[in-house]
Amino acid sequence: MSKSSIEEYLKESVKSYQACHVKNSARRSSLQKKTEGIEMARKKMTTHMEREEKLLRRQLSNMQLDQIRREMTSPLLEVRRSESLTRQRTRKISSITSRELQAGYKGLILEEHIINSFN
């Protein structure tokens, strides 16, 4: 090989190397941008998912607290209802007049007399 052909070969090699270097740099840069975009999207989604998880945990906790409140207040409400019913019954009983009581007593005596007359 002659000296000029070697120099020409070296020049072509340098040009080829530089062209490949430029292309590789462009590819690397493009891949880095894509990777950064993917990482940003991943971080964004992770943050969003963490917020959603916290919100759901808070809602679950509130639901559990509401359930506990209902379980604790339910017996109290039942006691109040029974007290109210007792008061209503007491009012009904106390509203019976003495005449009604006497009439009822006389009716019982009359029933007893009729029953005894058949015996």
What average pLDDT is seen over the chain? 82
pLDDT for residue 18 = 92
Distances (CA, A) of 5 to 1, 9, 14, 17, 86: 7, 6, 14, 18, 119
Instruction: Render pLDDT for 77-103 as a digit per residue (tens, 0 to 9).
Output: 787 787 777 777 776 666 665 656 666
Full residue range of the structural domain in which residue 111 is found: 3-118
Provide the domain count of the chain. Answer: 1
